[in-house]
Amino acid sequence: MAKTKVVVVDDSALVRSILTEIINRQPDMECIGAAADPLAAREMIRNLDPDVITLDVEMPKMDGLDFLSRLMRLRPMPVVMVSTLTERGAEVTLKALELGAIDFVAKPKIGVADGIRQLAQDITDKIRVASKAHIRRHHAPAPAAAPGEAPVVPKPVTVANIGRLSTEKIIFIGASTGGTEATKDVLVNLPPDSPAVVITQHMPPGFTKSYAARLDGLCKIRVKEAQDGERILPGHGYIAPGGMHLSVERSGANYIARVQDGEPVNRHKPSVEVLFNSAARVVGPNALGIMLTGMGADGARAMKVMKDAGSYNFVQDEATCVVFGMPREAINAGAADEILPLGQIAPRLIERLRSTAGFSTNRV
């Protein structure tokens, strides 16, 4: 079997050496080159034709995001970002995912060498996933207006209110690899009177707060990182904090968020399984489930439990997934009511809500 060819791009000689060692220990992959900056990486990619590259976020000679943007326009290929656990690192990483990077690894702020070695399995797992991912070409931004001309302002997308909406409904979203952008695609198309949305996206600590803030600036609903014990309200989205499980509980007439530590479930914390099981147990027929792109099977069984409890479930189709693992497993488990391209999920969800408004306890 042919090995996955990897090029490492990092300005630290120590990090390059460690990543090369980690990759070369794997029987199914090989580090075929290591570059200290994007200019050297450009030549290496052209000459060696790697399957995957790992790319440091902050690089000399050319900004890592600049390099990634050019790469995804001119020669789209799987990229795994190597990020720092800082607020700035989180912001840049989210931008990298928007530009087309498949995933990221967060290296610690101190003890980098030992920290990267401890992340060896995570790094190599993400390289394997990236090597099989669906790559999308990143299009160049619209040209700036010429001097003296009015700037081109994108026309805002108008989303009509749902109307006569039962506040009992809650939308549950599970996602992993490729899910930061897929979740955004769903949320930006929801109206301000949408039911509450509760989201588990596989992310490490330190990144979900920036992710929630980014979504809050783009969406008509308010989006925030979930806090333990807070009331879950319509018109709001709640993101599971990195490294913590999120579930929903009932408190009298209200739904509340439960944010708790605990053992990983399906190797993940937060876990979609935890969230979706709470949806089945607490929300039942008032739940709407959405399974988006991601590797593995986290949440698939629980989504079937949701359906058995009366929820209506949407699953992203293979053609629009970065990785079709979690959606495929949900479909195989019999959890899907509809299998849709990503761009059709929000419109069909809204259509479903409008058709059932006022009938929140009955499945149609």
Structure tokens at 175: 């996602």
b/e code 332-347 from CB counts within 10 Å (16+ = b): ebebbeeebebeebbe
Structure tokens at 358: 């006022």
195 C-beta neighbours (distance < 10 Å), count? 26
271 is catalytic: no
69 is catalytic: no
d(CA 61, CA 40): 10
Q: Which of 69, 131, 176, 271 is catalytic?
A: 176
Q: Which of 131, 138, 193, 202 is catalytic?
A: 202
> C-alpha distances in angstroms, 98 versus 14, 128, 157, 191?
28, 20, 19, 22
DSSP state letters, 50-70: -SEEEEESS-SSS-HHHHHHH
d(CA 105, CA 183): 20
Residues 275 and 171: beta-carbon distance below 8 Å:
no
Q: Which of 236, 247, 298, 311 is catalytic?
A: 298
Residues 203 and 85: beta-carbon distance below 8 Å:
no
Backbone angles phi, psi at 26, to 5 degrees: -85, 135
Helix (DSSP H) and strand (DSSP E) numbers for the chain:
12, 14
176 is catalytic: yes
Catalytic residues: 176, 202, 298
